[in-house]
Structure formats: C-alpha cells, structure tokens
Chains A and B, each alone.
Chain A
Amino acid sequence: MNEYIIETKNVFRSFGGSAAVKDLNLRVRRGSIYGFLGRNGAGKTTTIKMLAGLIWPDSGEIRVNGVEPAKLTVADRWKIGYVSERQILPPGMRVGALIQFTSNFYPDWDFAVCDRILKRFGIDPGKRIKALSHGTARQVAFLLAMAQKPELLILDEPAANLDVVARRAFLEEMLDLIREEDKTVLLSSHILSDVERVADEIGIISQGTLKISEPLDRLKETVKQVRFYGFERGINGFEIPDAIRFSKSKDEALATLRLPDETLLPKLAATHRCQYEITHLNLEDIFVEVVKE
C-alpha cells in the first residue's frame, strides 16, 4: 500500500481565466490527520473538490488511494467519506430515512455509529433535514460519512456552524475514528484552534500553491517570531532574505522565520551585534504570517 493516501502532482485548475490552483503538490500520509488550511479563495475548496471527484484538474495528476478521482469506482468510494462545505442534503427527507437510504450503498454501514452520534449530538431522527439548523445538518452529513467506515475522511468545514461544545464532541468523534489503524482524515477548517487540537500535519495553501506542508509540531517548533534590537552598529544592512515575513524600523526589526536549530539566532546576533527576543507562535499566528499579503 502506498505511504501516501492522497498525492497530487503539478495540478493546475483555473476558472474563467484565473488560476485557482497552481502547480499543487500535495501529499497526505496514510494514517494522519492532515489540517488543510487556506483563506477563502486560496484554492482550498477547489483542491478538495478535485480530490472528491466533483471537478477535474486542467493538468497534472491526482491519486486518491491509488486511483484518479475521475475514475473512482463504487468500491473505491466505499472507502472515502466526504463532508462538503455547503453540504446540500435532500431537504425533504427525514434524518432516519436519509440514513436508511444512504446505507443501501455501503456494505460496511455501521448503524451503531449512527445511533451513537445521533444521541451524542442530540439529533432527532424524525425531523426533516430542512427543519434542522445549519449546524445540525452538518452533523448529519458528518454522521453519514462516519457510518460508512471510510479509510479516508475528507472534511471541508465540517464544524462551521457548531457551538464550542458540539465542536469538541465532533473532534472527539473524529479522533475515535482515527484511533483505528490506517484511517486518514483531511480536515479543512477556518477554526484553527480545532485543527491545532487534532492535526499532526499541516498544509497551508495560499494563492493556489502549497506554501507549507509539514508536521504541526515541527512547524510550531521551528517557526518563531523574533524581535531584533540593540544593534550596536546600527540596523542598516540587516536583512534576512528567507524570512517568512520581515520588517524594519529605525532601530529594531521583526521577523517571522524558521529556526532549523538553536545556533541560527546566536550566530545572527553575533554577526550583527544585536540582541533578540523570541515569541512562540501558535498555529493561528503562523497561518496569518504565512498567508498575509
């Protein structure tokens, strides 16, 4: 089995002349929770739709579980669960009827999971979808994806309208799933604190390309914000070319940069005769620094 459950190679996709996704090389390791982050319009939803087989790339190659999404067979789709951003479930159906209907298409449908999630989120199976709130409808969509016991779960803003308690419950359900071997989750969410709780790898897409793709721990450990001050010989000539962000005022500089090891900063400080102060960044801070114009 391939190490990567999702692989894209040089994928391009544009809409009406403007490129939504440019030369995308995304790789999601089997068994991980991959947090896929990006601003609105950065190409996130386009990428996810391509992975789900709803739209096709203009060029490049995509493989989900070894298969091109355009050629996913029914048996391939058993293993892929999908919750979309604007999940439009059949509004006239009752929750119970929808579960019953969907279960027809999956051999490993787990009704126990359905009952558990219905109870946990307090959803009335007799209610019609259109009578549910947005958030509850999303929970139903999530339930449908979980009950099919997928190997890969693709979640695009699955918790967007949920309150804090419901979101925690949803994250726990997701973690329960992932505790079984070889299950992978691709989670795309604007709620970075949620992603930070559970993800082990992070991908940040900005303006159509993947700017960051690495383990979350490494990201948090190596990307720091550093304030340089006390330049004994003045600040002129002080530059950090490969910083993620860099700004200078007349006597201090602020940089968001990657620290591969502990020696970089002392060396910099020694070379430029200055002092430094490190601020640790959380995922939201790093994200903003990476994607800000």
Chain B
Amino acid sequence: MKARTPYWPLFRNELGVGHYAGIPWAMCLGFYLAIWLLASSLPLLILFKTCEGNLATFFTAFGGMFGFALVWWVAITAWLFAFALLPGISNPIQTVRAFEFMFTRAIDRRHLLRTRAAVIHLVLLGPLLLNLLVSSGSRETTFGPDNSQPESALRREQYSNAFPASRPKEGTVGVYPKEGTVRGWPITALKSLEQPAPIVIPRGSMALSAWILWMGALGLLLMQGYCVLVARHVQNSPWRAVMVIGGPIVAAALLAPWIPKLYPDLFEQSFLFFARNLVPLLIGLLALVPAVQIFSERRFSKLEIL
C-alpha cells in the first residue's frame, strides 16, 4: 500500500482537537480568534472611523502605532513557531506536539511540519485575508494631505504615480474654513497658495489591507525560516531558546518607538512602493513560500531528539 499522509487527522491534532476538554477548547479558540479578528481589523477601523478614509492622516498620525503592532505580532509568531519546531522546549502547547512520539510513528516529518506551518499561517493570516475581502466593499478612500505642509505636493504626486487610476475629488476646492487661522497663519495668506483638492484612490482600502497582508505573510515566512534555522542550536537549552527567540522581540520593542522618529515616512513609502510594484511583489512572495517551506522541511527532518 502506498504511503499517503492522512493530513486531516494531523491537522485536527495541530489545532488541539482531542487534547483538551471540548468546551474550554472551543472557548479558548473562539476567544483567540476574536482577539485576532479585532486586532487585524484595527487598521481598517482607524482608516474609516477616525480618518474618514483619508490615507494622508492615517499614515501621519498612526505610523507610530505600527511599531507596537509589530512588536506584538513578532512576539506571538516567534513563540508559536518556537513551540512548533523546537523539540526541547516544554510548554503547554508542546504537549500537543509530543515530538518523540510523533517522530517514532509512521509520519513523514516533512508532512508534519507542513501541517504545523499551515495551521500557524492560517490562524495568523486568516483574519488579514478577511480584512482584504471586507475592504473590497468598503467606502472610497481619499488622499487629502494637510496642504500647508511643504512635502504634501510631493506626496500627492507619489500617490498619483502609485495609483494611476486616482482622480481628484469633485465638488470641493479648498478644504479649509473661509475664516480664522490655520496653524497661526491667517486664512487670507493661505488662500493665495494653490490648494489642490484631495484625490480619490479607488480601492485604496483594499490596497492597504493587501499591503498589511503581504507584510504579514512575508514576516511569517521570515520568522518561520529564522526559527527553523536556529532550532538545532537552541532546542536543548531553554534559556538559550528564550534568548535567541526573544531576541527579535526585544529588538522590535526597542526599535518600535524609534522608527517613526527616524523614518517618519517609512510606512507610507512602503505602502506606496507596494502599490507601485504589486505584481512582482506578489510573485516574489509566492515564490518565497515553497522556498521557505522546503528549507524548513529539510532542516526539520534533520532535528535530533536528544
């Protein structure tokens, strides 16, 4: 009889089905998924609820928040992969993965890793994918920067380049009140400056969600590769594992507040870059998936259980 891996039982096993009592497990899973859904929909919520669909304010005001999101995200994924791949670490989830037992059954290690990675990717990227789908039916987004800022014209041009289908918003010229002051400058002085209308970015929110999804997927793949790479060296020493896996988390936590200070435009520029080079970036990501997976499977197969 040919050896065909029964993926479904492996998959169920990875989700912890049968390892925990039914109701607590369902509650835990539900709670976890709810958190993820909420967290991943935050960008879209902020975009529409707070920024009224204006990408300009979105990036300006909330670039800093991404830093913390990054730290949190790295922390979760690093540890998930650590648990999944490192035989020496014992923890509550590890028991689901009882390495020595699984490795001495008639289970292809590569398929085991494949299932594990698939579960992690599914759980973490699923909500991001959902956001993408939701955003396809959302309101329009605009790009209407604060025109008093000197670089706004440059940004406007960048957006127009990135989104060739964009067009100026009709019906409004000048977004500032007719009287009073804006940043200390009397309105009359500003009126003499050219005040271009905000441009409408068709499918702007979709682009934003796609960008987040792409970054998430890339980060996951890199994290998977990293954990698999270090697995052999840290698997038998819990403290070393903590340091090596915790390294990126600490680094991210330290960098997070600095990124918006040093590179205030980083996120926005990255978003624009993504929008400009959508197809090659997608192809690149899709090509990366099998590369990382094959690399991971090979290293995973060579792990020793001491």
Give the residue name and chain of the A residue nearest to B94 (CB): A88
In the bound assembly, the distance between CA atoms of A106 and B13 in angstroms comes to: 17
Give the residue name and chain of the A residue nearest to B108 (CB): A74
Contacts across chains A and B counted by CB atoms under 8 Å: 70
B306, CB-defined interface residue at 8 Å: yes
A94 contact from B18, B108, B306, Cβ within 8 A: B18
User: Would you list 8 pairs from A and B whose C-beta atoms are within 8 A, ordered by A residue?
Assistant: A75-B3, A77-B104, A88-B95, A88-B101, A89-B101, A91-B95, A93-B19, A148-B106
Give the residue name and chain of the B residue nearest to A98 (CB): B18
Complex interface: chain B residues within 8 A of A33 (CB): none
Contact check, B19 vs A84: say whether CB atoms are below 8 A apart: no
Within 8 A of A (CB), among B69-114: 95-96, 98, 100-101, 103-108
Within 8 A of A (CB), among B253-306: 304-306
Contact check, B5 vs A74: say whether CB atoms are below 8 A apart: yes
A270, CB-defined interface residue at 8 Å: no
Complex interface: chain A residues within 8 A of B5 (CB): 74
In the bound assembly, the distance between CA atoms of A86 and B104 in angstroms comes to: 13
A55, CB-defined interface residue at 8 Å: yes
Contact check, B305 vs A55: say whether CB atoms are below 8 A apart: yes
In the bound assembly, the distance between CA atoms of A89 and B100 in angstroms comes to: 9
Complex interface: chain A residues within 8 A of B61 (CB): none
A87, CB-defined interface residue at 8 Å: yes
Contact check, A88 vs B98: say whether CB atoms are below 8 A apart: yes
Return A179 CB to nearest CB of chain B, in Å: 24
B154, CB-defined interface residue at 8 Å: no
Return A15 CB to nearest CB of chain B, in Å: 8
Contact check, B103 vs A53: say whether CB atoms are below 8 A apart: yes
Contact check, A87 vs B107: say whether CB atoms are below 8 A apart: no
Contact check, A90 vs B96: say whether CB atoms are below 8 A apart: yes
Complex interface: chain B residues within 8 A of A54 (CB): 100, 103-104, 304-305
Within 8 A of A (CB), among B1-15: 1, 3, 5-6, 9, 13
In the bound assembly, the distance between CA atoms of A70 and B145 in angstroms comes to: 61
Contact check, B106 vs A77: say whether CB atoms are below 8 A apart: yes
A18, CB-defined interface residue at 8 Å: no
Complex interface: chain B residues within 8 A of A87 (CB): 100-101
Complex interface: chain B residues within 8 A of A102 (CB): 105
Complex interface: chain A residues within 8 A of B96 (CB): 90, 92
In the bound assembly, the distance between CA atoms of A74 and B304 in angstroms comes to: 18
Complex interface: chain A residues within 8 A of B103 (CB): 53-54
Complex interface: chain A residues within 8 A of B95 (CB): 88, 90-92
In the bound assembly, the distance between CA atoms of A90 and B20 in angstroms comes to: 10
Complex interface: chain A residues within 8 A of B6 (CB): 104-105
A170, CB-defined interface residue at 8 Å: no
How many residues of B are in contact with the other chain, CB < 8 A?
A: 24
Contact check, B98 vs A77: say whether CB atoms are below 8 A apart: no
Contact check, B18 vs A93: say whether CB atoms are below 8 A apart: yes
Contact check, B104 vs A82: say whether CB atoms are below 8 A apart: yes
Contact check, A89 vs B98: say whether CB atoms are below 8 A apart: yes
- Using CB atoms and an 8 Å cutoff, list the residues of chain B in contact with chain A: 1, 3, 5-6, 9, 13, 16, 18-20, 95-96, 98, 100-101, 103-108, 304-306
Contact check, B3 vs A56: say whether CB atoms are below 8 A apart: no
Complex interface: chain B residues within 8 A of A93 (CB): 18-19
Give the residue name and chain of the B residue nearest to A91 (CB): B95
Complex interface: chain B residues within 8 A of A82 (CB): 104
Known A-B contacts A92-B96, A101-B13; A74 and B18 likewise in contact (beta carbons under 8 Å): no
Complex interface: chain B residues within 8 A of A73 (CB): 3, 108
Give the residue name and chain of the B residue nearest to A130 (CB): B95
Closest CB pairs A-B (n = 4) = A92-B19, A77-B106, A74-B3, A54-B305
A258, CB-defined interface residue at 8 Å: no
Complex interface: chain B residues within 8 A of A88 (CB): 95, 98, 100-101
Complex interface: chain A residues within 8 A of B108 (CB): 73-74
Known A-B contacts A55-B304, A104-B9; A74 and B100 likewise in contact (beta carbons under 8 Å): no
Return B77 CB to nearest CB of chain A, in Å: 24
Known A-B contacts A54-B304, A54-B305; A84 and B104 likewise in contact (beta carbons under 8 Å): yes
Given A77-B104, A105-B106, A107-B1: 6 more A-B contacts, CB < 8 Å: A52-B104, A54-B100, A87-B101, A89-B101, A90-B95, A102-B105
Complex interface: chain B residues within 8 A of A74 (CB): 3, 5, 106-108
Contact check, A105 vs B105: say whether CB atoms are below 8 A apart: yes
Give the residue name and chain of the A residue nearest to B305 (CB): A54
A97, CB-defined interface residue at 8 Å: yes
Give the residue name and chain of the B residue nearest to A56 (CB): B304
Among B16, B95, B103, chain A packs the most CB atoms within 10 A around the CB of B95
Contact check, B105 vs A77: say whether CB atoms are below 8 A apart: yes
Complex interface: chain B residues within 8 A of A84 (CB): 100, 104
A49, CB-defined interface residue at 8 Å: yes
In the bound assembly, the distance between CA atoms of A49 and B13 in angstroms comes to: 25
